[in-house]
Amino acid sequence: MDSSLPPSSAADPVVGQTVDNRWHVLRKIGVGAVGAVYLAERAKLGRQVALKLLHPEYLSNNEYVRRFAREARALSRLQHINCVSILDVGTHEQRPYIVMELVNGPSLSEEIGTPEMTTARAVALMRQVLDGLAHAHGHGIIHRDLKPDNIIVTDVAGVGEIAKILDFGFAHVNDSRLSQSNAQLVPGTPSYMSPEQAKGEKTDPRTDVYSAGIMLYEVVVGFKPFVAGDIAEMLQKQQFEAPIPPRQAALGRRISEPLERVILRALQKERDQRFADAAAFRDALDATPEGRDSARAQPGGRRRLPPYAIAIAVAALVLATIGVAFALHAH
């Protein structure tokens, strides 16, 4: 979440309150389908965080309450430098809330098409996204709403440029208590939705592979592979239309044939023809000339994260969250 966002123009009774005598709410910084996100700080300590509260109008909607619980459960399993970390959960005036680390920086969507988004930097950032996604897949979590708006590009002091995956509100968790969903509630964003999501079919890690393939195409080429006039047309294209090959779509950019093959494999309509999961996608990307070059490059003028720094950062996140009590209100 970006704390540099302007405050909401509308009066919000939550602003100024102290949630559970711990989290003092400063201002609203975002609104999503499931909840509102606020800039808050830890009482007495002053540490700033992002606090997400379920919209009050959804308290009587069991599906949305389950979705919110699903996000909390998903985030609580993740301890990875490329996934936003959870600090606390609870209930405030009957509204479930999640407290997350505050991530400052632009979304990946704001970086697409800028002069700084070179092919090397695009591949380096997407490699980090896939690394975080592989961690989620390893914990039985499918994101189901990957898109550039849900990726924040931030700078970590002494480490460099980091891509963080946010918003697991549509995540599917392998837990029979949380995996039920309303058939009328189709998860995902049409421009990044896999063919099986568009058909309302069961999802698996290859669903995220497809969405990540759309993102990789977009950051490398500069625009999405499919454009449509409405949602119905977009869903049809996701199911049946083949994308223009990246090297043909972006003649002015240097894109190797191996990188093009990786992108097009991720975008196969039949999921059996895609990479099995994010880890396989990441490894294939690393084997391309751009993947090898990005390991030596300094994307956006910043130093790429070395393996030992990743280990240190992950260890710090684990230590920071030890002892957190998860007390999400049962509905």
To 10 degrees, what angle do helices 257-266 and 205-221 make? 140
- Cβ pair 54, 96 in contact under 8 A: yes
Write b or e for each residue in 276-306: b if 16 or more Cβ atoms lie within 10 A of its Cβ, otherwise e: ebbbbbbebbbebbbbeebeebebbebebbe
d(CA 319, CA 331): 31
Given its phi and psi angles, is residue 141 left (phi above 0), alpha (psi -120 to 50 degrees) or beta? beta
Place of tokens 């201002």: 27
- 145 assigned to active site: yes
Catalytic residue from among 145, 167, 208, 277: 145
- Which residues have a catalytic role annotated? 145
